[in-house]
Structure 1
Amino acid sequence: MTGSRWLRGLRLSLARLPFGGPASEGPVHAFRDPWKGDPDQGARLIGGHFRFDRQDYPLPNGNWERGPWPEPVREWLHGFSWLRDLRTLGSDRARLTARGLVSDWLAHPPTDPLVRDACVTGSRLASWLSNHEFCLASADPRLQQRLMERMLVEGRTIAALLPLPPQGARGLMAFRGLLAAAMAMPEQTGFMSRFLRYLPGELERLVLADGTVVERSPEAQFLVARELAEMSVMFRTAHASVPPFIDRALDKVCPVLRAMRHGDGGLAVFNGANERHSAAVEDVLAQGSRQKLIAPAMPQGKFTRLALGKSLLLVDSGPPPPAGFDNMAHAGTLSFEFSHQRHRLFVNCGSAVVGAWRDAMRCSAAHTVLVADGLSSADFGPDGGMTRRPVTVSCDHQTDGSAHWLDLSHDGYHAPLGAKWTRRLYFGSDGEDLRGQEIIDGERNIDFTIRFHIHPDVKVTQDDEDIILQVGGTIWRFRQRDGAVRLENDVYLGRGKREVCQQIIITPRPLPDAAPPEGEAAPADEKTDAENAVKRTHQSVTWLLERIPE
């Protein structure tokens, strides 16, 4: 065991000892959770169960060690963020259910290691404090005392675990919980001092210079903005000045979050993101930023956002996030999404949190990309991180003001296939003309599939070689050259449920067999050194999406 790990373990053990005097009788400062919950989830909780990632689970009653549940389910359960769902429901029964579940957890504290995870602990602490007025302020004094004693231990636990190893966006939950402890018990001055000491470094590690969160995910961007906005609310509730580094981070993060929205107000679906409700995104932006700025470019985050007329093209034009921040990452390098007004046409398939669907959604085939030989451009290990990834990803953007040209490539297929994929995109005609060329250069001809996933709201029909897309009163035509096109059934998880939709598939046309002319024998198998040299192959397909005039 290294010295730092030993010291952290010692601090954690000491933090959980009952010393330092009695806890406060109640929180000195409490604040109201600024985010709306899900009343449907609240109703399920009253009924004794909850839904997570499209699956139902029973609520624990006196047995919080339930399992074997997937780790994300247990994180959510022990994090108590679901208290806002009961608060949004707002009934007396919801209040009593919330109070009863908090009391039950305090009476039967689980031994699950996740309970001592700094991020889960932070979520739990902040959720207790932000819903205190709703379900705990009028509780029995003995419950209040148990709550404050536990909050003191939880705050010390987080303080002992700082600084955190790389956690990505979820790491900010620990700091939010520590801030909650500092607000509830300001006499414990160490909570605030460690918050102010370690959060600036965490933000520097997490937020790139252009404001993109290092995980390169619209979902992570949303979560970071929400965590920081809630911290800002907490300081203002306590009539304290918001630390300048929080305001500066919000001023960087929020414009990028706006840039990652489609015209419907929801998030683009890259790297573990789903659409989310536009109102939820708007609430975070309203709390987190004073100016409605959209990031004009993301040179460090390496997303390309092109808006023409009423259309929007968003492209994942950079490499996957670095190791340690890649647990949300998908094998979707060079994928794109396209929308017109408030309607999405081409999308990625969404994401899942647990199980086989999570693995399926991370594959290249669940993205609007070229899939070579049935492989993904990246592989993932048991811990969720990438074990193989594109190393070299390039993007050259040219524009004349009225049209855009993108020349993109990655080498994610070099290791398994010796191949390089190049994608060239043209975007013009006021956003009503999108064209592409897909090129595979390699050592041999490779079987490939180009997938264009279509949003469930779009009506799709095939007219000979043309694919007709209809949505929002507009009609679009898709056609291609040098390949074979067909429609296939598809699935979309981007709206939190499983929706059947369709996808356009382009495959290479079969190559003719090379046979010797009639009457001639096949040449002897004798080759010079030059002939034995590896021959490079070049396969290409072009495609076009255009709006049909009304």
Structure 2
Amino acid sequence: MALRRILRSMRLSMARLPPIGYGKLPDAPAFILRDLWQGNSIHGMHLTKGELIYKDQIIPLQPGLWGRRNTSLEGLCKIYDFSWLRDMRELGTDNARLSARALIADWMGRPPTAQHQVAYYSDILGMRLTNWLGHFDFFAASADDAFRKQFMDRLLIEGRYVAAMLPPISGNYKAFSLFKGVMVMTLCMPEQFDLLSRIVRYLKEELVCQILEDGVHIERNPEIMLVVLRDLVEIRLMFQLINRRPPNELITALDLISKALRALRHGDGGLALFNGSSENNPQFIDRVLSHATQKRVAMTNMKQGGYVRCYANRATLIVDSGRPAMTGSRHKHAGCLSLEFSAGRQRIFVNCGAGDTSSWRSILGCTAAHSVLGLENSDCVVVENSKSVMEFEVVAKHHVEEGAHLLEMGHNGWLPRWGAIYQRILYLSSSGEILKGEERIDANEDLSFKIRFHLHPSMVVEEDVVEFTKGKPERIYVLLANNKHEGRQIWWFRFSGAEATVEESIYFGEGSRTASQQIVLTVTADKPVKSEIEISQTSSLQPKEASLINEEIQEGSDYVAIFHHQNVNQRVGQESDHALHSQTMSQHFVSQEKIEEEASGHNPVNEQEENSFQQETSDYQSKEKSPQIVRWALLRKL
């Protein structure tokens, strides 16, 4: 790796020298590309006025003024990749064409050293060249010869830069944007850049390295999968322009990623919020998928990628059943076994998302920012510690019968610190109107934990009292939603074995921060909740509270108020009715043969698969100690 970095640095240094021996430059690109994606005409209108709209921000963009000093890194990337050209093309006026040409002329009049270093990141440079040549027929349609010559001269300079960056840093999804840039130079200036064989070789290597057999990217981020799929679609288009068959690995990857991406979408068309993803634009997702493949099939088995998808009568349950990725962004998410649930186009249970700043991304990677159990205010895995991630084990089984789904899952993330095993069982009925769960902590001593159910901002929570059993009133939460596509929805949330509160939360799924709420089920070790289905004893274990936020992080410091201690609703009493217990899991999933195997402690089918996981946990579990169990149910009433 050290030698590769040295060679890469030498190539980049040589690329800065004056171009010699490249032959005569053509007057125009050999192939005219066509950008596939739709822009925003409203944003294009603002661009003609010198304003770039990005994530509810207005960044100045006009000749001589490329952003502000305090413009974020993401904002600079948006400026320098020139993807905003499609917004001006979507507007389609002469003013938009002239404004785009003026900006490009201003860029060409500046030496590369005058730009911010972000402009020459490999992925930004690759996207800029692709966007230049993808919109050449728009901004250069009526340009004079002097502009065209200046453009081809600058294209050669930037093309030498991007060619010098091969091979890319292996395992990084941004490598595919670099491939696009090199590929587009090979197509449009073939006499100067003959790199097709190298591109094919490196492309095959990265596809094998980054795309798992079930189509999930190694970073396990649905939004990254979308970006990679978009890049691969554009690369395939370039092969078709020169009448060359794309590599088989590319065709296979397009099919696999498309299937996995469809499985990670909710009914509203947006992506599930796992491992740093946001919802993204459903129309853009549809367009990328339609260009990738004509097969409208969703992946059903994503064991390697670590996801489980359950679908029943327009209800979608997606669960993260994998350990954190070992590669990619330093803001990793400790959300193992977290869930998201939607009914039709209405999202109900969600995760908080990724955040729009570095501080928020770090904070929202914690377990508490996911719809899952959090033990003793600590994350389920120390993601900064690669050894902890490697030792992290997850078991997940998915049973389907007559349209209903049963998930049995567990992980050992808290075993080294607390001597505890976390198990989660989820049941989704075939009607899609009943979602039930059982949360279980097996440890030598009682521990405190919280189970969080983050709600979509469109959901409203109210408290009510209902008699499920005559003479036994029970306090529940009523979840209300008025969706313009689905109409009015009413859901009842029941629970057993814990105390419940409604607390503040936040939601970054749509790209900006939105206030929301969360239902929190709390079990406290020093004040256990006793019921017919759980008898917990006061624990002598009193660990120090683990801080989930670095004191140096100032931005987003209200995380503590959002995810800990601050309640905006009174506590709801515990339900101890047997009715919830009896309805929690559907017994028809368990065959008589399985009951006999569990009673004897022997299961020949799964014994080898689970042997290592059970062996590791056996020393920490006591047969005399009752597990801490919380049960809950979400029932649709309308």
TM-score, with structure 1 as normaliser: 0.88
Cα distance change of structure 1 residues 66 and 191 upon mapping to structure 2, 3 Å threshold = farther
Counterparts of 1:537 and 1:142, CA distance in 2: 82
Partner of 1:333: 336
Note if contact 1:24-1:148 (Cα within 8 Å) is conserved in structure 2: yes
Residues 239, 217 of structure 1: alpha-carbon distance in 2 compared, 3 angstrom cutoff: same
1:112 is aligned to 2:130 = no
Residue 74 (structure 2) pairs with residue 72 (structure 1): yes
- Summarize the Cα distance change of 1:101–1:225 in structure 2 as closer, same or farther, 3 Å threshold: same
Query: Within the alignment, does 1:320 sit opposite 2:324 as a pair?
Result: yes
Structure 1 residue 356: Cα displacement? 2.8
- The alignment yields a C-alpha RMSD, in angstroms, of 2.7
Change (3 A) 1:215 1:461: same
Counterpart of 1:538, as a letter, is: P
Cα distance, 1:364–1:97 mapped onto 2, change above 3 Å: farther
CA contact (8 A) 1:403 1:427 kept: yes
CA deviations 1:39-59 (Å, max 9, x no partner) are 343333333333434443333
Residue range with higher mean Cα deviation, 399-408 or 477-486: 399-408
Q: Which moved more, 1:139-148 or 1:301-310?
A: 139-148
Q: Structure 1, residues 173-216: CA drift from partner, whole Å, max 9, x if none?
A: 10111111112112234232321221111111111111111111
Q: Which residue identity lines up with residue 44 of structure 2 in the other structure?
A: G
Query: Could you tell me how far 1:29 is from its partner in structure 2?
Result: 0.7
- Contact 1:62 1:104 (C-alpha < 8 Å) held by counterparts: yes
TM-superposed CA distance for 1:379, in Å, is: 4.8
1: distance between equivalents of 2:315 and 2:65? Answer: 52
Report the equivalent of 1:524.
Answer: none
Residue in structure 2 matched with residue 519 of structure 1 by the alignment: none
Partners of 1:153 and 1:387 in 2: CA distance: 44
1:468 to 449, 473, 478: 478
Residue 426 (structure 1) shift: 1.7
Report the alpha carbon displacement of residue 386 of structure 1 after superposing the two structures with TM. 7.2
State the partner residue of 1:33: 35
Measure how far apart 1:479 and its partner are: 0.7
Measure the CA separation in 1 of the matches of 2:9 and 2:318: 45
Could you say which residue in structure 2 is the equivalent of 1:3?
Answer: 3
Is residue 2:101 matched to residue 1:86? no
Q: Tell me, what secondary structure is at the counterpart of 1:296?
A: coil
2:520 matches 1:431: no
Give distance in 2, aligned partners of 1:29 and 1:232: 15
Kindly indicate whether residue 352 of structure 2 is the aligned counterpart of residue 349 of structure 1: yes
Structure 2: distance between partners of 1:126 and 1:458: 41
Q: C-alpha displacement at 1:483, in angstroms? A: 0.6
Q: Which amino acid aligns with 1:446?
A: L
| CA distance in 2 between partners of 1:55 and 1:330 (Å) | 26
8 Å CA contact 1:445–1:537 kept in 2: the answer is no
Q: Which is further off, 125-134 or 167-176?
A: 167-176
Aligned twin of 1:541: 630
Q: Give the letter aligned to residue 159 of structure 1.
A: A
Instruction: Say if 2:356 and 2:512, in contact at 8 Å, map to a contact too.
Output: no
Q: Tell me what 2:453 maps to.
A: 452
1:368 alignment partner in structure 2 = 371
Structure 2: runs of 5 or more not aligned: 466-474, 529-619
SS at match of 1:359: helix
Equivalent residue, structure 2, for 1:497? 512
Aligned to 2:59: 57
Give, in whole Å, the separation in 2 of the partners of 1:136 and 1:387: 54
Change (3 A) 1:95 1:415: farther
Paired with 2:306 and 2:395, the residues of 1 have a C-alpha distance of 10
**Residues 534 and 318 of structure 1: CA distance in aligned 2, closer, same or farther (over 3 Å):** closer
Task: Give, in whole Å, the separation in 1 of the partners of 2:636 and 2:296.
Answer: 30
- What is the distance in 1 between the residues matched to 2:277 and 2:358? 16
CA distance in 2, matches of 1:45, 1:272: 29
CA offset at residue 388 of structure 1?
Answer: 5.6
Are the aligned partners of 1:467 and 1:477 in contact in 2 as well (CA < 8 Å)? yes
Instruction: Say which SS state the counterpart of residue 59 (structure 1) adopts.
Output: strand
Change (3 A) 1:150 1:194: farther
Cα shift at 1:80: 1.4
* Deviation of the 1:137 alpha carbon: 3.5
Question: What is the alpha-carbon distance in structure 2 between the residues aligned to residue 417 and residue 4 of structure 1?
Answer: 43
Distance 1:416 1:80 in 2: 48
Aligned twin of 1:190: 194
Deviates more, 1:202-211 or 1:101-110: 101-110
Offset at 1:246?
Answer: 2.1
Q: 1:388 to 1:39 in 2, by over 3 A?
A: farther
- Aligned twin of 2:546: none
Deviations 1:512-537 (A, max 9, x none): 49xxxxxxxxxxxxxxxxxxx99877
Please give the secondary structure, in 1, of the residue aligned with 2:303: coil
SS at match of 1:297: coil
Q: Which residue among 218, 221, 225 is the counterpart of 2:225?
A: 221
Where do 1:378-527 residues align within 5 Å?
A: 378-379=381-382, 389=389, 391-464=392-465, 465-471=475-481, 472=486, 473-508=488-523, 511-512=526-527
Please state if 1:160 is matched with 2:175: no
Q: 1:328 offset after TM fit, Å?
A: 6.2
SS of alignment partner, residue 545 of structure 1:
strand
Question: How many residues are matched?
Answer: 527
Aligned to 1:277: 281
Change (3 A) 1:497 1:89: farther
Q: Counterpart of 2:309 in 1: which secondary structure? A: strand
Structure 1 pair 45/376, CA: closer, same or farther in 2 (3 Å)?
farther
Q: Distance in 1 between matches of 2:41 and 2:417?
A: 48
In structure 2, the CA distance between the partners of 1:128 and 1:445, relative to structure 1 (3 Å rule), is: same
Deviation at 1:287, TM superposition (A): 0.7
User: For 2:437, what is the secondary structure of its paired residue?
Assistant: strand
Cα 1:466/1:229, change in 2 over 3 Å: same
Secondary structure of the corresponding residue to residue 317 of structure 2: strand
Q: Deviations over 1:342-396 (max 9, x none)?
A: 2211111222342333223322222111122222334566xxx979647112212
Q: Counterparts of 1:534 and 1:309 in 2: how far apart (Å)?
A: 39
The 10-residue stretch of structure 1 (348-357 or 220-229) with the greater mean CA deviation from structure 2? 348-357
1:400-456 Cα deviation digits (max 9, x unpaired): 344322222223333444433221112224222111111223354333221111112
Paired residue secondary structure (1:168): coil
Aligned partner letter, 1:331: A
Higher deviation after alignment, 89-98 or 438-447: 438-447
Larger mean CA deviation between 476-485 and 441-450 belongs to: 441-450
Structure 1 position 306 matched with structure 2 position 395: no
1:320-342, CA deviations, whole angstroms, 9 ceiling, x for partnerless residues? Answer: 112x3344642211111111122
**How far 1:469 moved relative to its partner?**
1.7
Q: Name the stretch that deviates more: 127-136 or 60-69.
A: 60-69
Give the Cα–Cα distance (whole angstroms) in 1 for the partners of residues 250 and 331 of structure 2: 24
Query: Residues 447 and 525 of structure 2 are in contact (CA less than 8 Å); yes or no, is this contact kept in structure 1?
Result: no
How many angstroms does 1:503 deviate by? Answer: 1.3
Checking the alignment, whether the CA contact within 8 Å between 1:217 and 1:270 is kept in structure 2 is yes
Are 1:30 and 1:183, in contact at CA under 8 Å, matched by a contact in 2? no
Query: Residue type of the partner of 2:414?
Result: Y
